[in-house]
Amino acid sequence: MTASLPAPVSAPDTLRELALELGFDVAGWASATVPRAAWQGYGEWLGSGRQAGMGYLETGAWRRADLGSSLSGAGRVLALGISHAFAEVPVPSGGLRAGRVARYAWTPDYHAQTLPLLSRLVKEAASLGIRARGFVDHGPVMERDLAGRAFLGWHAKSGMLVSTELGAFVTLAALLTDLPDVPDGPAHPDRCGRCTRCISACPTGAIDADRAIDARRCVSYLTIEHRGPVDWTLRPGIGDWLLGCDVCCAVCPWSVKAGALARSLKPDPELAWPDLRGFFGTSERDFLRRYGHATHARPRRKGMARNAVTVAGNLRRPDLRPILELAAADAAWEVREAACYALRQWEDVRGLEQLRRDPDERVRASAERGLRELLDA
């Protein structure tokens, strides 16, 4: 009797197993042929203007329909997910700390952390005679569609990919390869059922009925990507969000069930609870020295200062009073403009009257608005 030999491990299995060893939490293969419905849906979202100021999403949008434009001969894609479901982190001592940072921004920038893992996969693929290219949220690849077709989860009512295993706190990535195309199996079933928790919990009503987010109202967009003043009517909805928002992920029952299971990415308490004073009285260069490795760098120093004073206005906590004073004297007009909103929330007529004499017309107009609102109240 001869012992049976173990079945040879295929190249797709080797790459998938390596991805999990490297730290991705879920991985699965999908065809590189993008279904018509996926790119049509994306085109409709762009056509409706819900990408707000993210014009870069429109540049070369057609390439999302043709993955061969990103890697010639693209046949199969390894869809990847990594959890950022962290447990709470302690507030560091010292400094003036308030407001929330979304969990995806608690670590040094996830692009920087995920790209080396993708590079390892590209090298391994090359050793197997496979050409490959990695993407994490920076190329013409529809990661959510791929992940759904790779059976990692489903396109949920929140507009996110949700996994029964990981919940909604998932960062997606993709490894595009020239492996021969294999048609997809059935897509992951929709497991939202009758739940609508994410839609009800969204502070600004940014989740539309077609499972898409309207960035024009989304706190994540407003605090990270949006430049300049935020629409006054949306500022109360920003609440205590200093950077990003992940309410729709946190309330999802699949996230609650999954718990805090992030194993590869490590949170940094100084990023989760930054000292608000660090956004004032400093140059953009010094700010970048401190935060250049993090999502905090995206809105830049003046964006973080704008966010900090908006939070101080909404919270009206006495210990945050110094933030209003720092913002009212800031060098950037956008920050002084945000101070007008905060002073209005604090019903600080004197502070508004001072900003009514600001050299910048846009600040003066907001100070007038704040005073008018207080008079009308």
How far apart (Å, rounded) are the C-alpha atoms in residues 314 and 240? 7
User: Taking the mean position of all CA atoms in its chain, how far away is CA 151?
Assistant: 22
- Residue 191 or 362 having the CB closest to ligand SF4: 191
Among 78, 122, 207, 338, binds ligand SF4 (CB under 6 A): 207
Residue 66, Cβ neighbours under 10 Å: how many? 14
- Using CB atoms within 10 Å of the CB of residue 25, give its burial: 0 to 12 exposed, 13 to 18 middle, 19+ buried: buried
The answer for residues whose C-beta is within 8 angstroms of residue 125's C-beta and 6 or more apart is 11, 15, 131, 132, 175, 177
Q: Which of residues 127-156 bind ligand SF4 (CB under 6 A)?
A: 156
348 included as an active-site residue: no
How far apart (Å, rounded) are the C-alpha atoms in residues 126 and 240? 47
- For residue 171, the minimal CB distance to ligand SF4 (Å) is 14
- Residue 81 or 134 having the CB closest to ligand SF4: 81
How far apart (Å, rounded) are the C-alpha atoms in residues 117 and 225? 26
β-partners of residue 175 are 78, 134
How far apart (Å, rounded) are the C-alpha atoms in residues 169 and 85? 5
- For residue 187, the minimal CB distance to ligand SF4 (Å) is 16
Residue 228, Cβ neighbours under 10 Å: how many? 13
How far apart (Å, rounded) are the C-alpha atoms in residues 33 and 85? 31
- Residue 49 or 281 having the CB closest to ligand SF4: 49
The secondary structure of 259-273 as a DSSP string is -S---SS---HHHHS
Among 196, 283, 317, 319, binds ligand SF4 (CB under 6 A): 196
Q: Which of residues 153-192 bind ligand SF4 (CB under 6 A)?
A: 156-158, 162, 192
Question: How far, CA to CA in Å, does 135 sit from each of 97, 347, 364?
Answer: 34, 48, 45
Scanning 11-19, 112-120, 195-203, 314-322 for contacts with ligand SF4 by CB under 6 A, the matching segment is: 195-203
- Residue 246 or 348 having the CB closest to ligand SF4: 246
- For residue 54, the minimal CB distance to ligand SF4 (Å) is 14
- For residue 150, the minimal CB distance to ligand SF4 (Å) is 19
Q: Does 85 bind ligand SF4 (CB under 6 A)?
A: no
Calculated CA dihedral for residues 82, 88, 93, 94, nearest 10 degrees: 80
- Residue 85 or 219 having the CB closest to ligand SF4: 219
Scanning 44-52, 66-74, 194-202, 260-268 for contacts with ligand SF4 by CB under 6 A, the matching segment is: 194-202
- For residue 223, the minimal CB distance to ligand SF4 (Å) is 9
Binding mask 247-266 for ligand SF4 (x = CB under 6 A): xx--xxxx------------
Among 15, 32, 98, 202, binds ligand SF4 (CB under 6 A): 202
- Residue 80 or 251 having the CB closest to ligand SF4: 251
Question: How far, CA to CA in Å, does 185 sit from each of 31, 77, 182, 223?
Answer: 9, 14, 9, 39
The answer for residues whose C-beta is within 8 angstroms of residue 102's C-beta and 6 or more apart is 220, 241, 243, 244, 245, 246
# residues contacting ligand SF4 (CB under 6 A): 25
How far apart (Å, rounded) are the C-alpha atoms in residues 76 and 70? 13
Binding mask 211-250 for ligand SF4 (x = CB under 6 A): --x----xxx------------------------x-xx--
Kindly give the interhelix angle for 300-315 and 321-328, rounded to the nearest 10 degrees.
140
Tokens of 110: 């996830």
- For residue 261, the minimal CB distance to ligand SF4 (Å) is 17
- For residue 141, the minimal CB distance to ligand SF4 (Å) is 21
- For residue 162, the minimal CB distance to ligand SF4 (Å) is 5
Active-site annotation holder among 13, 25, 137, 319: 137
- Residue 10 or 196 having the CB closest to ligand SF4: 196
Q: Which residues bind ligand SF4 (CB under 6 A)?
A: 156-158, 162, 192, 195-198, 202-204, 206-207, 213, 218-220, 245, 247-248, 251-254
Catalytic residue set: 137
